Structure 1
Amino acid sequence: MKCPYCNGEESKVVDSRATEDDGAIRRRRECLNCNKRYTTYEKIEDIQIFVIKRNLTRELFNRDKIISGVIRACEKRPVSRLEIENLVNSIEKRLNNTMTSEIRSEEIGELILEKLRYMDEVAYIRFASVYRKFDDINSFIEEIKGLSGDK
């Protein structure tokens, strides 16, 4: 951080606090070269993530789509809304931490399945049947065998 007065590159943080809307951190700094004080703002960079669909079209990541899909898979199952929110939050956090601007929908589906597998096996099978487009009963049987083989 360069001092706006003398272009010195060394400073110390005197005070640090969140802005009123919690969208940034306000830092009061003091230049170690000229001893003048100045204010900087630190903000989290929002990277818009585009999802590459199976037909190769792109659309903005929409967490609500994941929530609705997981809610359908968990219908009449002992899975709370909070657990679903936590699942989606962890997936969204993981996507944001990759620092990539595009991700294939298949990768998101696999992340969801990975989380559902340990949350509720019935919800896992329901989601997998739609996501993986099971064509027949044998596809279900193979997926269930895979589940019981993991234990």
Structure 2
Amino acid sequence: MKCPYCAFTQDRVVDSRESKEADSIRRRRECERCNKRFTTYERIDEIPYMVVKKDGRRERFDRQKVLGGLLQACQKRSISSAQLERIVDEVETFIVDSPERERLTTEVGELIMDRLKNIDTVAYIRFASVYRDFKDVREFKAELEELLGGAKKHPEDPRKLLKPTPRNA
């Protein structure tokens, strides 16, 4: 805590008391540099972190909902729970670090897809298909082609790639 008199950041708590309403704690502090005393109050941070949906609705950020979506996309894939937890931690940090206490779900979804793309492309495609709400196979195919780096639409016949072998006489 910064001293209001000398701006020094080291102090000690002299006394702590709960408020009458029991919704905050009053602390008397003493600066270790100038020895002046000052009062601080601690309150619970009650404003929830929010996500703004595509249709404009606001919803509380739900860590379990993000983890549930990831678990669905990563089903039967060799992705550890520690990797999934790391992604959820990054998403939570991303939302908590927002100065407005809210983020767009499009930003959250892109962050998740970016992380999944580097871990497992199948899980990435599964997540993207739900998140981006593909309307038909063409949209799905376009996403796959982008993932594969614009691979050819119709690869050559694999039989043509084989070298002819000389026949034994």
Amino acid at match of 2:134: F
Residues 46-70 of structure 1 deviation map (CA, whole Å, 9 limit, x = unaligned): 7622111122221111111110000
1:48 corresponds in structure 2 to: 48
1:20 corresponds in structure 2 to: none
Q: Provide the identity percentage.
A: 38
Structure with a larger share of its residues in helix? 1
Offset at residue 9 of structure 1 (A): 2.2
Please identify, of 93-102 and 106-115, the stretch whose mean Cα deviation from structure 2 is larger: 93-102
Partners in 2 of 1:121 and 1:67 — Cα distance? 18
Partners in 2 of 1:41 and 1:83 — Cα distance? 38
Q: Alpha carbon RMSD of aligned pairs, Å?
A: 3.1
- Normalised TM-score (structure 1): 0.73
* Contact 1:29–1:40, Cα closer than 8 Å, also in 2: no
1:142 corresponds in structure 2 to: 142
Amino acid at match of 1:141: K
Partners in 2 of 1:82 and 1:2 — Cα distance? 41
Within 5 Å, give how 1:2-151 maps onto structure 2.
2=3, 8-11=5-8, 13=10, 29-33=30-34, 35=35, 48-149=48-149
Runs of 4+ aligned residues of structure 1 deviating over 4 Å after TM superposition are: 36-47
Offset at residue 98 of structure 1 (A): 2.6
* Other structure's SS at 1:114 match: helix
Amino acid at match of 1:64: Q
* Other structure's SS at 1:51 match: strand
Number of equivalenced pairs: 136
* Other structure's SS at 1:9 match: coil
* Other structure's SS at 2:129 match: helix
Partners in 1 of 2:65 and 2:128 — Cα distance? 16
**Looking at both structures, which has the greater relative contact order when contacts are Cα pairs under 8 Å and sequence separation is at least 6?**
1
Amino acid at match of 2:33: L
- Normalised TM-score (structure 2): 0.66
* Contact 1:50–1:101, Cα closer than 8 Å, also in 2: yes
Amino acid at match of 1:54: K
Partners in 2 of 1:55 and 1:12 — Cα distance? 45
Name stretches of at least 5 consecutive residues in structure 1 with no aligned partner: 17-25
Q: 1:44 to 1:9 in 2, by over 3 A?
A: farther
Name stretches of at least 5 consecutive residues in structure 2 with no aligned partner: 14-26, 152-169
Offset at residue 141 of structure 1 (A): 1.2
Residues 93-115 of structure 1 deviation map (CA, whole Å, 9 limit, x = unaligned): 12222322222211211111111
Q: 1:60 to 1:123 in 2, by over 3 A?
A: same
Q: 1:32 to 1:118 in 2, by over 3 A?
A: same
* Other structure's SS at 1:149 match: coil
Please identify, of 100-109 and 122-131, the stretch whose mean Cα deviation from structure 2 is larger: 100-109
